[in-house]
Amino acid sequence: MRKHKLLTATALTLSLGLVALAGAGGQAFAATTISTATTTPVKTSVTGDLTVSTTGSIAVTSGNAITVDSNNSVTLNGKIDMLKSADGSTGILVDGGHTGNLTIGANITVTDAYIGQDTNVDANGKPAPDGILEAPFSDNNTRYGIHSTGTTPFIGNVSVTSASTITVDGINSYGIRFENKVQGDFTMGGTITMNGDNSAAISLENGATGNVYLSGKATSNGKDSSIVKLAGDFGGNVIIDGTYTSSSYATVNSLSADALKVVLATPADLYQSGPLVSIEGNLAHGLLIGSTITVDTTDANKSNTDQDGNGIVDANQQTANLTNYGAAPALRIGSATSDITLGGLVFNSSALPANKPAINYGLWVRGSISGLGVYQDVDNVAVQLGGTGHAVNIANGIGIAGTVSSTAYGGDATALSVQSGLTTPLLDVAGVIRGTASSATTLASTDADGTKHYTTVGDTTARGVDILAGASLPIINVKAGGGIYAAATGSTEHAVAIRDLSGTLTEINNNNIISASISPTDDNVDGTADALVNRPIAIDVRANTSGVTITQTDTAPTDSDADKAIPMPYILGDILLGSGNDSITSNGGLISGNIDFGAGANTFKLDGTATYLGKMSGSGTVALDIAKGALYLAPGSALSLTNLHVGAESTLALTLDTDHPIVPIFTNSGDAVFDDGASISLALNKLIVAPTVFTVMTASNIDLGTLDSANLDGKIPYLYHADLTTNAGDTTLYANFRLKNQEEAQYSDNQYAALSPVLSAVSQDTAATSILMSQLTKAGFDQIYNQYLPDYSGENLLSLATGAASLNRTLSSLTLVPDNNEGQWWLQEYGYQVKRKYGETAGFKSTGFSFAGGREREVYGNQMLGLYLAYTSGSPLDTFAIAGEKMVNSDVTLGGYWRIRTGGLKAWAHVGAGYTSFETTRNILATNGTTNINHIAAAKWSGYSYSGGAGASYEVKAGRLSFTPQLLTDYYALREEAHDETGGGDYYDLSIADRDSHLMTASALFNVSYNKFFAKPEIWFGYKQNVSAQIADTIANFKGATPFTLTGGDIEGGGPVAGFRISADNQYSYFSLEGEYEKKDDYTNYSVSLRTRFQF
């Protein structure tokens, strides 16, 4: 031993000895302070009140560093180190039955010498480390940070401050364990770290008489380990707002496919922890999972330091974040040995109304509680109430103002599980309850050639609130701003937002959101999402036999839709009712999902502009009242009604069954009344071609009010004309459907020619049928219908012909015939836009360019002969093109030309032949809110062209002005080869026959220029006539179907032309910038060009 340590130890021993001698003589020291490092354990029976100062410390490797064996207090501001300590090592041991306070403001470290091992082996049993340490995470010894023993209470307060960190390693170990009652307050604000199986950070096993406040941070890693265990009777407030995390997994990080495969094959990597927080005792003042609050700083309240009235200074509070990785719940309330009760929360007089609930719940969650299963085949529950074998009574109900969430991958996820034995009057949800489950697709094997094989664990369920048999929870209220969600991802997954198997749930009130959803996945990894097997369920109360009342209320019906400040309430997902007399009322908002009313005498009412979308069915009866709202019934709906009422501002929308036209949707034993102003809309579940009479409903009497029964345009699919009739006794309502004729539908000749083939193709595609049949207007119908037609408006001819004609303008602008017996080069860049309006064809807009260059030489002194090469490309899009659709055409032409200039006369001519190529992507992407369609058809093909042109002009000068009349003619002929589309499917891809088109034009122009400046300005105007124009018919067919013919329409006729040019010209070079506009009856062209000439 070094000298100074010997002196220190000797001094401490002498000090403690004097204390003992004085005690023997009746003169005990009142207190002892350890201000230096020591390796000697201490007892309060020797020291009296004990303080370890910030400069003091105790380091031992076995036994108890401090023993409280007398009625004295301990204040620890200096650390306790028990590194690599023995079995049973304890930082502070408290013998039961003593009085004093325990204040921990420094670190207590009671650890082992264990070093984790990476024990993975390969298929041959050879070591194959993966960088992940397997369980166990500690040695097999038991250790304690603080341990209070005995059966008599510890009398005093326990405070673990934020300055402290307790670290304990070992199985069956504890950070803080009180086997006896705490007769006083217990406060935890520090940090606790536990490593070891069956360990717990905080275990109060016989209750506490005072307030229990669990804050700070705690982590636990070990099989069956926990953070908090509370048993016995607790007489004061119990508040938890710490950040607590527990797991027994070797890792919870994201892993590569190969690494995940290894972990899943290693049981020691997948051990499960115990419940993060386990409440096993009676809590007289309930349980608060706390959070920070927004402090009111107004003069009236700024001096109030406890504005939520929970007994904790607001500035010291934090927001609870309870997270458990694995199958065990993050919060479990229930005892395996006795019935327990959670009384109502108690708030002091300082509580402001905004910071306390209207009901003193027995359980109020303001913070966050999360459970994550992480790995496949692990079911997760975030909060479990009951289910432990004994009754649990939560007084006044449960309030969720924070978040309760459960997430599982290849396992069930249940956010709030209300299990057998639990009794509580209500559940109020002002926060979020969310269950999220995903199927788990993992790498199974990899072939030698690199081919990967996958397995999928699916058919699991996401649940928001799950009430099991033997529980009792009669009322669920979803408040404004609250929500219950179940979201599943996977084609075989299930999602249920609220399920009651107990039969006790009789009332559900929704002021915000109840939502269940399922998203498909590509489980077989073939690049296409698989079809969904199951439907999402918002509410499942089929176990109920007494009747359930579901009420949805818009709490802010006058809120502006534009500002989105207060969203309307909604229920998404199916509603499944039981055998009782059930009632559903929606006073605003949306209900979207199928409803099965089950048996019983049921009622359904919409008011306050509420909307319902879905299918209705049931074996009982329904009184249906659409007082003020819209009811959209999906295909397959069938109800036995006792009465039907449709209010003056309401809409009844029905989908008729084309396979069973004589079967009514409603069989009504009472009256069917449509108030004046009411509306009816009718849809069909399939396309029909033949006129059909549908039986819509029967009733004892049908009163249609002021319905326009003779014409339902705008209320039925645009394809059809329909009217309503009744029988002689007004007891049966019929709808008479037929296709509109061409005049009624305002079809162009081309649209009408393709109608039968398109409808035949669409009828074989369920999604396409739904989309087309949901179009009620011509604009909507045209947008969908025209996507089934090929490009037939002359896009390729008019676009490429425009580019080819630009060569004629280049020849007209070449003014100089060189006299140097040399040649010259010229270049042209020509940009254009051609637009054809929607009418007899679909119309289009094409933007393109033509780049040309040539070389010429002088002949006969005033003439030039030349060759040219031109490349033209355009990108037409028809009027109804959508994002992602494209068409590209191009022409590469080689040709020759001649030109002459003599005095003011110029003349020229050219001829060429070209190779053309084309590429298209025709697609349809649409949705009607419930159905989506996305087809993409692509094709490539080629062809060839012939082109020619000629022109003449004569320039007359008058001073600096020049006047030049000009005549031009252009010819372009285009051949397109037949081609087939691919990628869109048999009911969208088209086969298109070859096409031969041509266009010949003649133009007469008058040009005026001014020659004073270096750059010469020019303008011209005139007239251009299509002398001979033929856009080939487009003959197309769907796979195996009869071809249909679309005409290109008439483009003969003419129109005005106007343009401008700014040019600079000399013997060696020429440059110009010009623009032109031409207008025809059926199409227009805008163009801009750059031209240059140079000699060498």
- Residue 807 pLDDT > 70, yes or no? yes
Residue ranges in 332-437 assigned as alpha helix (H): none
Alpha carbon distance, N-terminus to C-terminus of the chain:
103
Reference 851, options 1092, 1083, 1061; nearest CA is: 1092
Q: What's the pLDDT score for residue 20?
A: 40
Q: What is the percentage of the chain residues whose pLDDT exceeds 90? A: 71
- Residue 565 pLDDT > 60, yes or no? no
Query: Does residue 1000 sit within a domain?
Result: yes
Number of domains composing the chain = 4
Q: Which whole number is the average pLDDT over 289-316?
A: 88
Query: Does residue 752 sit within a domain?
Result: no
Residues 909, 809, single domain; the answer is yes
Report the 10 Å Cβ neighbour count for 594.
20
- Residue 332 pLDDT > 60, yes or no? yes
Q: What's the pLDDT score for residue 380?
A: 95
pLDDT band at 351 (very low <50, low <70, confident <90, very high): confident
- Residue-wise pLDDT for 908-919, tens only, equals 999 999 999 999
Which one is predicted more confidently, 932 or 248?
Answer: 932
Query: Does residue 997 sit within a domain?
Result: yes
Give me the long-range contacts of 606-614 (CB less than 8 A, separation at least 24): 606/630, 606/631, 606/650, 608/553, 608/554, 608/557, 609/557, 609/649, 610/552, 610/554, 610/586, 612/586, 613/929, 613/930, 614/574
pLDDT band at 410 (very low <50, low <70, confident <90, very high): confident
Residue 399 corresponds to which tokens in the numbers above? 């309030």
Q: What's the pLDDT score for residue 259?
A: 61
- Residue-wise pLDDT for 673-694, tens only, equals 999 999 999 999 999 999 999 9
Residue finishing a domain among 43, 61, 78: 78
Q: What's the pLDDT score for residue 459?
A: 87
Which one is predicted more confidently, 102 or 315?
Answer: 102
Q: Which whole number is the average pLDDT over 1060-1070?
A: 77
Distance CA 162, CA 147 (A): 19
Residues 426, 465, single domain; the answer is yes
- Residue 1065 pLDDT > 80, yes or no? no
Of 155-159, 484-488, 719-723, 1015-1019, the range with the lowest mean pLDDT is: 1015-1019
Residue finishing a domain among 726, 743, 760: 743
Distance CA 225, CA 1094 (A): 88
Q: Are strands 238-240 and 340-342 parallel, antiparallel or unpaired?
A: unpaired
Q: How many Cα atoms occupy the beta-carbon half-sphere of 224 within 13 Å? A: 6
Of 112-121, 615-624, 916-925, 1016-1025, the range with the lowest mean pLDDT is: 112-121
Do 897 and 865 touch, CB atoms closer than 8 A? yes
pLDDT band at 821 (very low <50, low <70, confident <90, very high): low
Map residue 570 onto helix, strand or coil.
strand
Residues 950, 904, single domain; the answer is yes
Q: What's the pLDDT score for residue 650?
A: 97
DSSP state letter for 707: -
Q: What's the pLDDT score for residue 178?
A: 98
Q: What's the pLDDT score for residue 6?
A: 36
Which one is predicted more confidently, 293 or 452?
Answer: 293
pLDDT band at 21 (very low <50, low <70, confident <90, very high): very low
Which one is predicted more confidently, 1066 or 49?
Answer: 49
Of 15-19, 167-171, 939-943, the range with the lowest mean pLDDT is: 15-19
Q: Which whole number is the average pLDDT over 995-1003?
A: 96
Map residue 188 onto helix, strand or coil.
strand
Residues 71, 111, single domain; the answer is no
Query: Does residue 305 sit within a domain?
Result: yes
Give the CATH number of the domain where residue 866 resides.
2.40.128.130
Residues 597, 663, single domain; the answer is no
Residues 588, 646, single domain; the answer is no
pLDDT band at 1016 (very low <50, low <70, confident <90, very high): confident
pLDDT band at 26 (very low <50, low <70, confident <90, very high): very low
Do 1071 and 1091 touch, CB atoms closer than 8 A? yes
Residue 631 corresponds to which tokens in the numbers above? 């009811």
Distance CA 644, CA 638 (A): 14
Q: What's the pLDDT score for residue 129?
A: 64
- Residue 366 pLDDT > 60, yes or no? yes
- Output phi, psi for 732, to 5 deg: -135, 135
Q: Which domain holds residue 717?
A: 639-743
Query: Does residue 622 sit within a domain?
Result: no
Residues 411, 451, single domain; the answer is yes
Q: Which whole number is the average pLDDT over 150-154?
A: 94
- Residue 254 pLDDT > 70, yes or no? no
- Residue 66 pLDDT > 70, yes or no? yes
Q: How many Cα atoms occupy the beta-carbon half-sphere of 262 within 13 Å? A: 20
Residues 897, 954, single domain; the answer is yes
Query: Does residue 632 sit within a domain?
Result: no
Q: Residue 1089: beta bridge partners?
A: 830, 1074
- Residue 61 pLDDT > 80, yes or no? yes
- Residue 507 pLDDT > 90, yes or no? yes
Distance CA 51, CA 354 (A): 43
Q: What's the pLDDT score for residue 121?
A: 67
Mean pLDDT, all residues of the chain: 90
Residue finishing a domain among 609, 630, 649: 609
Residues 33, 150, single domain; the answer is no
Q: Which whole number is the average pLDDT over 766-790?
A: 93
Which one is predicted more confidently, 428 or 294?
Answer: 428
Q: What's the pLDDT score for residue 927?
A: 86
- Residue 329 pLDDT > 70, yes or no? yes
Residues 282, 390, single domain; the answer is yes
User: Cα-Cα-Cα-Cα dihedral of 691, 697, 698, 700, to 10°?
Assistant: -130
Residues 697, 831, single domain; the answer is no
Q: What's the pLDDT score for residue 1076?
A: 87
pLDDT band at 481 (very low <50, low <70, confident <90, very high): very high
- Residue-wise pLDDT for 432-442, tens only, equals 999 999 887 77
Query: Does residue 204 sit within a domain?
Result: yes
Do 654 and 630 touch, CB atoms closer than 8 A? no
Q: What's the pLDDT score for residue 150?
A: 93
Q: What is the pTM of this model?
A: 0.82
- Residue 592 pLDDT > 70, yes or no? yes
Q: Which whole number is the average pLDDT over 981-987?
A: 95
DSSP state letter for 659: T
540 to each of 419, 585, 726, 770, 975, how far by Cα in Å?
16, 17, 38, 28, 64
Query: Does residue 618 sit within a domain?
Result: no
Q: What's the pLDDT score for residue 376?
A: 79
Residues 371, 428, single domain; the answer is yes
* Max avg pLDDT among 24-28, 371-375, 409-413: 409-413
pLDDT band at 12 (very low <50, low <70, confident <90, very high): very low
Q: What's the pLDDT score for residue 820?
A: 57
pLDDT band at 725 (very low <50, low <70, confident <90, very high): very high
Distance CA 289, CA 557 (A): 33
- Residue 13 pLDDT > 50, yes or no? no
Do 671 and 644 touch, CB atoms closer than 8 A? yes
Residue ranges in 29-98 assigned as alpha helix (H): 44-47
pLDDT band at 454 (very low <50, low <70, confident <90, very high): confident
Q: What is the percentage of the chain residues whose pLDDT exceeds 70? A: 91
DSSP string over 234-255: E-S-EEE--EEEEE-BS--S--
